Amino acid sequence: MTKSGSAVKVLFVTTELAPFSKVGGLGDVAGSLPKALRQAGVDVRVVTPAWPGVLERVAALGIKTTTVKTKVYAAYDWRIHSANVIKATVDGVTIYFLNSEDYSGSQYPSQLNFWSASPFAVFCMQALELKDAIDWEPDIYHCHDWTSAFLPCALAWHRHYRQTGGKSIMTLHNVAYQGILEPSPFLEASGLEPWSFNSSTMEFYGQVNLLKGGIVAATAVTTVSPTYANEIQTYESTRELSGILYQQRSKLRGIINGLDVKFWDPNGDKAIPAKFSAKDLKGKAACKKALLERAGFDPKSDAPVIVCVSRLVEQKGFDMVFNGAAQIAETGAKLLILGSGNDWIENGIIQASETYPQSIKLFKGYDEPLSHLMYAGGDIFLMPSVFEPCGLSQMISMRYGTVPVVREVGGLRDTVFDVDRPEGGNGFTFQTCDVDGMMWALRRAVDRYNNNKAQWKEIMLEGMHEDFTWDKSAGLYKNLYDELMQ
């Protein structure tokens, strides 16, 4: 609520948005949190770049669009960058897709330099200019990760925008990606005041660090779980950036992510061969059969099926998985992995699957429908992350009655509780970040599945009954917006 009693106006500024440009969980959050915020009474809208293929996806989904009469403009690198504003409404939330040549390249550049970073700075300035084109002025700009971290920097240090008094929130979905690049010619081109480049702002060991700038400049900072909010203030977790996060801790809070529980619902999911629910689990067996068939394994097998759906990057701990391949195969379980990412991880998994072809299968790539079948057809969901800001996959798997085995870190620690605690739980957890640690939890899960079907069902139901809606967290974001308006 603003002082005048009207709903707070919030513009989500995001470079990933499900179902149009999702890469990982950030896309899911940007696609689902605004709907929950609207229901909580926030006037929220979303702005996002029309990366290659995005408008085609919008059209393929049958979503109507209109082009806003006025374009948005941003002054950057001594010229004016303009973009068409394509408006759509999805589940009641207004989305503005910015369409221009600036967004014809890669959504996540493999190398960050002046050229590859420029679209992100332009996007943030166009987001600040949007108010004039749509005649709706946000009270708060809500930014996500380094890709929109230039916006709070601009509000604090840009020669034009620093006079405007806008408020911003920086949500940290993953502090491992910071947007680091050479200062020249970026700083000259950006319009930031030369005095703004120093060690207490965006300078970081001689480089520009966009995320650091965003953290320092934002009115408030949030991250996606309470545990990760604590972890990132330690050198062990975020190295040199931990000092800044510790220094800024009074404006930092951890708010756990929720899920779009309508989308991730085994009882309404069109991508799986049979529906099921906590009340009637029968369909899950048909999903398991279809998944085993798809993997080329015996569909009648009752061996536990361990599934992973993940970006294959260092964060996710897959070196433990391929280094533990022999032990995993020895348990008699089948391990199915869906994902793509770093070559060394893909190669490690390929090698493991070639060594144990009866036990391990990699589906390489990004495949949304297959991911649903994996969540539905699996028995165990393995997520041995080295670090995990929140993690959505473990929550999705629980919705589908697939019991998570996770490392106790970040948001995994806030959502998965070991069944062998005196008070019980919804999964199996471990702490030590190595093969032995992971196998300790995984063996307990496989053993419980094989030898105690009654308890296994209880664990499944515990997860299926968890509340993963956005309701509570949307309320916490709303409280934060209200606080900033006081």
Q: Which residues bind ligand ADP (CB under 6 A)?
A: 24-26, 28, 309-311, 338-340, 366-368, 371, 390-393, 396
Q: Quote the CA–CA distance of 131 and 151 in Å, as a whole number.
A: 14
Closest contact distance (angstroms) between CB of 385 and ligand GLC is 8
Chain residues that interact with ligand GLC, rule: CB under 6 A: 24-26, 29, 173-174, 224, 257, 388-392, 411
Closest contact distance (angstroms) between CB of 158 and ligand ADP is 30
Cβ neighbours, 10 Å, residue 394: 26
Collect all residues with Cβ–Cβ distance below 8 Å to 305 and sequence separation of at least 6: 288, 291, 292, 333, 334, 336, 377, 378, 379, 380
Are β-strands 207-209 and 203-204 bridged in parallel, bridged antiparallel, or unpaired? antiparallel
Q: Which residues pair with 405 in a beta bridge?
A: 382, 428
Decide if 152 contacts 170 (C-beta within 8 A): yes
Residue with nearest beta carbon to ligand GLC: 25
Q: Please, what is the Cα angle at 394 between 393 and 395, to 5 degrees?
A: 90
Collect all residues with Cβ–Cβ distance below 8 Å to 286 and sequence separation of at least 6: 273, 274
Closest contact distance (angstroms) between CB of 416 and ligand ADP is 12
Place of tokens 């939890």: 441
Q: Quote the CA–CA distance of 274 and 284 in Å, as a whole number.
A: 7
Which does residue 310 bind out of ligand ADP, ligand GLC, none, counting CB within 5 to 8 angstroms by kind?
Answer: ligand ADP
Decide if 30 contacts 144 (C-beta within 8 A): yes
Which does residue 287 bind out of ligand GLC, ligand ADP, none, counting CB within 5 to 8 angstroms by kind?
Answer: none
Closest contact distance (angstroms) between CB of 132 and ligand ADP is 34
Q: Nearer Cβ to ligand ADP, position 304 or 339?
A: 339
Sign, CA torsion 367/474/145/189: positive
Residue with nearest beta carbon to ligand ADP: 25
Collect all residues with Cβ–Cβ distance below 8 Å to 221 and sequence separation of at least 6: 169, 170, 171, 172, 215, 248, 251, 252, 253
Decide if 48 contacts 19 (C-beta within 8 A): no
Q: Select from 180, 263, 175, 260 the least CA-distant residue to 224.
A: 175
Closest contact distance (angstroms) between CB of 174 and ligand GLC is 4
Q: Nearer Cβ to ligand ADP, position 309 or 335?
A: 309
Q: Nearer Cβ to ligand GLC, position 1 or 433?
A: 433
Collect all residues with Cβ–Cβ distance below 8 Å to 158 and sequence separation of at least 6: 125, 190, 191, 192, 193
Closest contact distance (angstroms) between CB of 411 and ligand ADP is 8
Which does residue 309 bind out of ligand GLC, ligand ADP, none, counting CB within 5 to 8 angstroms by kind?
Answer: ligand ADP
Q: How many residues does the chain have?
A: 486
In the sheet that 207-209 helps form, which strands lie side by side, from edge to edge? 180-181, 207-209, 203-204
Q: Nearer Cβ to ligand ADP, position 55 or 373?
A: 373
Measured between alpha carbons, how far is residue 420 from residues 74, 331, 364, 445, 467 in Å? 56, 20, 34, 11, 21
Q: Where are the alpha helices (DSSP H) in 135-274?
A: 150-157, 186-190, 210-217, 226-231, 235-238, 242-247
Q: Nearer Cβ to ligand ADP, position 271 or 326?
A: 271
304, with CB counted inside 10 A (0-12, 13-18, 19+), is buried
Decide if 404 contacts 398 (C-beta within 8 A): yes
Q: Nearer Cβ to ligand ADP, position 154 or 412?
A: 412
Q: Quote the CA–CA distance of 481 and 169 in Å, as a whole number.
A: 9
Measured between alpha carbons, how far is residue 160 from residues 101, 133, 165 in Å? 24, 18, 11
Which does residue 366 bind out of ligand ADP, ligand GLC, none, counting CB within 5 to 8 angstroms by kind?
Answer: ligand ADP
Which does residue 193 bind out of ligand GLC, ligand ADP, none, counting CB within 5 to 8 angstroms by kind?
Answer: none
Longest pairwise C-alpha distance within the chain: 69
Which does residue 224 bind out of ligand GLC, ligand ADP, none, counting CB within 5 to 8 angstroms by kind?
Answer: ligand GLC
Q: Nearer Cβ to ligand ADP, position 315 or 331?
A: 315
Closest contact distance (angstroms) between CB of 228 and ligand ADP is 11
